[in-house]
Amino acid sequence: MTTLTSPPRQQVVRIARHPEGAPRADDFRLDEDVVPRPSAGELRVRVDCLSIDPYLRALLGARYLTARPPVGAVVPGTGLCTVVESGDPGFAPGDLVVGDCGWRETAALPAAAVRRVDPGLAPPTTALGVLGIPGLTAWAGLRTIARPRAGDTVLVSTAAGAVGSLAGQLARRDGARPVGIAGGPDKCRLAVTEFGYAACVDYRAKDFEAQLRATCPDGIDVYFDNVGGRVLEAAIGLLRKHARVVLCGLIDQYNAAQRPPGPNLGPVIGTRATLTGLVVYDHLDRLPDFLAEVAPGVRDGSIRWREDVRRGLAAAPQAFVDLMRGANVGKLLVRVDGTPATGRSG
């Protein structure tokens, strides 16, 4: 029984068990928790929109940079939040921030750990996608590692996804020929019609390797890898001399219990190629440079982006399941309060 003196409660999603193989919706459970009370220097925020990201699978599988959260913990995750109450003079109620709120309705976040969102820059949810960490990932991989030159063939996996959809557009701006890889004909079509890819190959096709070779007859100068596995192997077989490979994610093996072997590296020697690991968090200090370059295009429509918005906190587990089997199209978001999704796309 609730009495007047009971602390207010809210909905959260907890880890029911650590997933084995592909995640299932019942690896998570909806629960209640007290509404957090912010300490000094903290903000009380309403979580408007959660970002559903592949790194969560690595985190739940103890394969991520930080420690695995225990069963029973609220699912970690980033979200777009509105400040309700501020314990920091730099923030006022109504301000929009991005922070590590977790899968809950409200959160208390250290003011020092959130990123302010300028609602005049672009639709605020883009701060979780094309103008957020996924966009910065694409930008950092191309600008700090791959550095495409005019005429280069730039191959990008997850070409219709949050990272890949911007990577292709940036490569095209550099005068390169972007070639995408995506799962299924719909995403391949989207990569070409929306995101400026010169061509896009379906990795689910039986003759994927042959199609990729035919699409890149002179080989590739850059490969932006988000998946690993068979796709990475095929790309390594197409490297041109002094090619650059950005190793950014291994979605292909996030569900695997054992780390599978990787590609044979013989072609890397012969081509004098360079493979470099990218962790986007190393590049947070470049966020202003990134926004200066990309935000104007998002605002004027010359840079395209796509969101896949689900409604209600309870939809988060299935959204994550869909993400890990590639059933989303565009940046996957969960609008926590369940208001109708805008689903808008630039």
Each residue 202-231 as x (binds its own copies by CB under 8 A) or -, in order, gives: --------------------------x---
Residues touching its own copies, count (CB under 8 A):
30
* Residue 18: CB minimum distance to its own copies, A: 18
Q: Pick from 93, 94, 119, 277: which binds its own copies (CB under 8 A)?
A: 277
- 247-258 in b/e form (b: 16+ CB < 10 A) is bbbbbbbbeeee
Residue (39 or 66) nearer to its own copies, CB? 66
> Rounded distance, CA 324 to CA 53, Å?
9
* Part of the chain binding its own copies (CB under 8 A), chosen from 82-90, 129-137, 201-209, 277-285: 277-285
The SS3 of residue 318 is helix
Residues 236-275 that bind its own copies (CB under 8 A): 247-250, 253, 259-266, 268-275
- H/E stretch holding 266: helix 266-271
Residue (63 or 286) nearer to its own copies, CB? 63
**326 lies in the site for its own copies, by CB under 8 A:** no
Residues 20-59 that bind its own copies (CB under 8 A): none
Residue (83 or 251) nearer to its own copies, CB? 251
Q: Which long-range contacts link 275-278 to residues 24+ away (Cβ below 8 Å)?
A: 275/245, 275/247, 276/145, 276/244, 276/245, 276/246, 276/247, 277/247, 277/248, 278/137, 278/140, 278/141, 278/144, 278/145, 278/246, 278/247, 278/248
> Rounded distance, CA 98 to CA 286, Å?
17
* Residue 247: CB minimum distance to its own copies, A: 5
Residue (94 or 266) nearer to its own copies, CB? 266
Per DSSP bridges, beta strands 331-335 and 42-51 are antiparallel
Per DSSP bridges, beta strands 28-34 and 274-277 are unpaired
Q: Pick from 45, 199, 232, 334: which binds its own copies (CB under 8 A)?
A: 232
The residues that touch its own copies, with contacts defined as CB under 8 A, are: 63, 65, 228, 232, 247-250, 253, 259-266, 268-279, 282
